[in-house]
Structure 1
Amino acid sequence: MRFFNTSLSLVLASTALVAAQSATITAPSGDEQCSSVPLVQNCVAIMQKGLDKCASSDWDCKCSGAANIFSCYADCVGEDRVSAELLSEHDCRTANAYDKGRSTVNDVYTTPSPNAIEATPTDATTTASAKSTSEPTKSLGEKAAPSKGAAQKGPPEFNMEPGKGLRFNPFPASLGPNYNWRLTIRRPLARLGALHLLSPFFPDVTVLAQYSSDDLFSFVTLPDVRALKFNIEYHNRERVSPGYWFVSPYLHIDPDPPSSLYEQYQIGPHIYDDEGRLVWTGSQQFDNRNVFDFKVTNSLGSDPHLSMVLQHSWDGGEDSGFGIVLRNDYEQDRKLPLRRDLGIFDIHEFNIRPDGKSALVSIYLSHEITLEDFGRPGEPTWLESGGFAEIDMNTAEVIQWWDSFNRIPLYESVHYGPDSAAEGHPGWDYVHINSVDKNEAGDYLISARFTNTIYMISGINGDIMWRLGGAYTNFQQDFTFSKQHDAKFVESNGTHHIISFLNNASDEEFNEENMSSSMFVELDTGANPMTARVIRRYNRPDSELSRLRGNTQQLPNDNVFTCWSKGGYISEHGADGELLFTANFTSPRYSSYRGYKFEFTGRPNTPPDVVASVSGTDETNMVTSFWVSWNGATEVATWNFYAQASEFHFPVLVGSTPKFDFETMFVSAGYLDWVSAEAVDVNGTVLGKSEVHRTKYPNWKSVGYKGKSSHPRPNDPSIIYQASDKTGGDNVIDEAGRTSSDAMDTQTQKTIQVLNHSYEAIRNIGGLFAFILLLCLFCGVVASYLVIRGWRVRLYQRLKMEDGFPEEQAHLRSTHHED
Structure 2
Amino acid sequence: MVPSSRRVRWLVPVVLVMVLAADRGGSEVSRPPVKALPTSGEWAGSVSVYPLPGTLTASPQTEVSFRGVSGGRHGKVSVVGEKSGKHKGRIALHRDGRGFSFVPERSFRPGEEVRVRTGLALRGAEDGDYAFTVARPFHLPDPNVPEQPPAMGPGLASKFHDFVTRPDLRPPKVTVARPAGSTAGNGHIFHTPKNRASWADQEGPVIVDEHGEAVWFRPLDGARAADFKVDRYRGEKVLLWWQGHVRHSYGEDRLVILNDRYETVARVKSRGYADIDGHEVRLTPNGTALFFVKNPVLWDVPGDGMGQRPVKDEVIQEVDVATGRVLFEWHSLGNIGVLETYAAAPGSGEPWDWLHANSIELAPDGDVVISGRHTSAVYKIDRETGRVVWRLGGKRSDFTMGPGTTFSYQHDARIRPDGSITILDNANGVPNPQGTDVSRGIVLKLDREPAATATLAREYSHPADDLSVAEANMQTLPNGNLFIGWGHVPGYTEYTQDGEVVYDVRLPDGIESYRSYRFDWHGHPTTKPAIALRPADGDRTRVYASWNGATEVTRWQVMAGPSPQQLRPIASAPKRGFETRITVSTNADHIAVRALDTNGDPLRTSPTRKRP
What TM-score do you get using the length of structure 1 for normalisation? 0.53
Q: Please state how far the C-alpha of 1:277 moved relative to its aligned partner.
A: 0.8
Q: Please state how far the C-alpha of 1:671 moved relative to its aligned partner.
A: 3.4
Equivalent residue in structure 1 for 2:297, among 353, 367, 378: 367
Q: Distance in 2 between matches of 1:357 and 1:516?
A: 35
Q: Distance in 2 between matches of 1:658 and 1:270?
A: 23
Equivalent residue in structure 2 for 1:382, among 310, 331, 340: 310
Equivalent residue in structure 2 for 1:516, among 410, 433, 439: 439
CA deviations over 1:245-275 (Å, ceiling 9, x no partner): 1010112599x5xxxxxx7x53110011111
CA deviations over 1:682-721 (Å, ceiling 9, x no partner): 11221111111223x3xxxxxxxxxxxxxxxxxxxxxxxx
Match of 1:561 in 2: 483
Retained in 2: the 8 A contact 1:602–1:635? yes
Match of 2:257 in 1: 325
What aligned pairs does 1:458-607 form with structure 2 within 5 A after superposition? Answer: 458-478=382-402, 479-491=405-417, 497-507=419-429, 513-525=436-448, 527-585=449-507, 587-607=508-528
Tell me which of the two structures has the higher relative contact order, counting C-alpha pairs closer than 8 angstroms and 6 or more residues apart.
2
Retained in 1: the 8 A contact 2:232–2:238? yes
3-state SS of the aligned residue for 1:294? strand
- When residues 253 and 291 of structure 1 are mapped into structure 2, their CA distance, relative to the original with a 3 A threshold, is farther
3-state SS of the aligned residue for 1:287? coil
Retained in 1: the 8 A contact 2:540–2:583? yes
**Aligned-partner residue type, residue 171 of structure 2:** A
Q: Please state how far the C-alpha of 1:225 moved relative to its aligned partner.
A: 2.0
The answer to whether residue 234 in structure 2 is matched with residue 300 in structure 1 is yes
Q: Please state how far the C-alpha of 1:667 moved relative to its aligned partner.
A: 1.3
Match of 2:243 in 1: 310
What aligned pairs does 1:206-285 form with structure 2 within 5 A after superposition? Answer: 214-234=158-178, 237-252=181-196, 266-283=202-219
Q: Report the structure, 1 or 2, having the larger helix content.
A: 1
- When residues 614 and 235 of structure 1 are mapped into structure 2, their CA distance, relative to the original with a 3 A threshold, is closer
Q: Distance in 2 between matches of 1:509 and 1:344?
A: 32
What aligned pairs does 1:45-84 form with structure 2 within 5 A after superposition? Answer: none
Q: Please state how far the C-alpha of 1:653 moved relative to its aligned partner.
A: 1.5
- When residues 659 and 288 of structure 1 are mapped into structure 2, their CA distance, relative to the original with a 3 A threshold, is farther
**Aligned-partner residue type, residue 288 of structure 2:** S
The answer to whether residue 329 in structure 2 is matched with residue 398 in structure 1 is no
Sequence identity, in percent? 29
- When residues 331 and 313 of structure 1 are mapped into structure 2, their CA distance, relative to the original with a 3 A threshold, is farther
Retained in 1: the 8 A contact 2:370–2:379? yes
Q: Please state how far the C-alpha of 1:568 moved relative to its aligned partner.
A: 2.8
- When residues 568 and 685 of structure 1 are mapped into structure 2, their CA distance, relative to the original with a 3 A threshold, is same
Retained in 2: the 8 A contact 1:290–1:311? yes
What aligned pairs does 1:330-345 form with structure 2 within 5 A after superposition? Answer: 330-339=262-271, 341-345=272-276
**Aligned-partner residue type, residue 193 of structure 2:** P
Retained in 1: the 8 A contact 2:468–2:489? no
3-state SS of the aligned residue for 2:303? helix
Q: Please state how far the C-alpha of 1:451 moved relative to its aligned partner.
A: 0.6
Q: Please state how far the C-alpha of 1:281 moved relative to its aligned partner.
A: 0.8
- When residues 608 and 541 of structure 1 are mapped into structure 2, their CA distance, relative to the original with a 3 A threshold, is same
What aligned pairs does 1:390-469 form with structure 2 within 5 A after superposition? Answer: 390-416=318-344, 420=345, 423-424=348-349, 426-469=350-393
**Aligned-partner residue type, residue 444 of structure 2:** V
Q: Distance in 2 between matches of 1:646 and 1:396?
A: 51
Retained in 2: the 8 A contact 1:382–1:423? no
Match of 2:102 in 1: none
Q: Distance in 1 between matches of 2:603 and 2:489?
A: 36
CA deviations over 1:29-48 (Å, ceiling 9, x no partner): xxxxxxxxxxxxxxxxxxxx
Q: Distance in 2 between matches of 1:507 and 1:365?
A: 24
Q: Please state how far the C-alpha of 1:509 moved relative to its aligned partner.
A: 13
3-state SS of the aligned residue for 1:238? coil
- When residues 508 and 667 of structure 1 are mapped into structure 2, their CA distance, relative to the original with a 3 A threshold, is farther
3-state SS of the aligned residue for 1:566? coil
The answer to whether residue 301 in structure 2 is matched with residue 357 in structure 1 is no
CA deviations over 1:394-439 (Å, ceiling 9, x no partner): 12221111111121112211113xxx56653x51111111111112
List alignment gaps of at least 5 residues for structure 1.
Answer: 1-203, 257-262, 698-819
Q: Distance in 2 between matches of 1:235 and 1:563?
A: 16
Retained in 1: the 8 A contact 2:523–2:549? yes
What TM-score do you get using the length of structure 2 for normalisation? 0.70
List alignment gaps of at least 5 residues for structure 2.
Answer: 1-150
Match of 1:89 in 2: none
CA RMSD after TM alignment = 2.6
CA deviations over 1:293-342 (Å, ceiling 9, x no partner): 0001135334x21000011498966x421110001111111111111x33
Retained in 2: the 8 A contact 1:351–1:437? no
What aligned pairs does 1:105-184 form with structure 2 within 5 A after superposition? Answer: none
Match of 1:811 in 2: none
What aligned pairs does 1:1-16 form with structure 2 within 5 A after superposition? Answer: none
Q: Distance in 2 between matches of 1:537 and 1:307?
A: 29
Match of 2:556 in 1: 639
Q: Distance in 2 between matches of 1:313 and 1:413?
A: 22
3-state SS of the aligned residue for 1:222? coil
Match of 2:66 in 1: none
Q: Distance in 2 between matches of 1:613 and 1:274?
A: 29
Q: Please state how far the C-alpha of 1:243 moved relative to its aligned partner.
A: 1.1
Retained in 1: the 8 A contact 2:318–2:326? yes
Q: Please state how far the C-alpha of 1:289 moved relative to its aligned partner.
A: 2.3
- When residues 513 and 300 of structure 1 are mapped into structure 2, their CA distance, relative to the original with a 3 A threshold, is farther
3-state SS of the aligned residue for 2:420? strand
- When residues 356 and 217 of structure 1 are mapped into structure 2, their CA distance, relative to the original with a 3 A threshold, is farther
Q: Please state how far the C-alpha of 1:240 moved relative to its aligned partner.
A: 1.0
Q: Please state how far the C-alpha of 1:215 moved relative to its aligned partner.
A: 2.5
CA deviations over 1:780-804 (Å, ceiling 9, x no partner): xxxxxxxxxxxxxxxxxxxxxxxxx
CA deviations over 1:738-777 (Å, ceiling 9, x no partner): xxxxxxxxxxxxxxxxxxxxxxxxxxxxxxxxxxxxxxxx
Retained in 2: the 8 A contact 1:250–1:591? yes
3-state SS of the aligned residue for 1:373? coil
Q: Distance in 2 between matches of 1:289 and 1:687?
A: 33
Q: Please state how far the C-alpha of 1:216 moved relative to its aligned partner.
A: 2.0
Retained in 2: the 8 A contact 1:236–1:579? no
- When residues 528 and 373 of structure 1 are mapped into structure 2, their CA distance, relative to the original with a 3 A threshold, is farther
Q: Distance in 1 between matches of 2:213 and 2:283?
A: 28
Q: Distance in 2 between matches of 1:214 and 1:253?
A: 15
Q: Distance in 1 between matches of 2:424 and 2:445?
A: 15
Match of 2:19 in 1: none
**Aligned-partner residue type, residue 683 of structure 1:** N
Q: Please state how far the C-alpha of 1:576 moved relative to its aligned partner.
A: 0.9
CA deviations over 1:194-233 (Å, ceiling 9, x no partner): xxxxxxxxxx99xxx9xxx943211100112222111212
3-state SS of the aligned residue for 1:577? coil
**Aligned-partner residue type, residue 445 of structure 1:** V
3-state SS of the aligned residue for 1:450? helix
Q: Please state how far the C-alpha of 1:529 moved relative to its aligned partner.
A: 2.3
Rg larger in structure: 1
Q: Distance in 2 between matches of 1:674 and 1:346?
A: 50
Question: Which 4+ residue blocks in structure 1 deviate beyond 3 angstroms?
Answer: 312-317, 420-423, 507-512
Retained in 1: the 8 A contact 2:540–2:584? yes
Q: Distance in 1 between matches of 2:388 and 2:558?
A: 63
3-state SS of the aligned residue for 1:411? helix
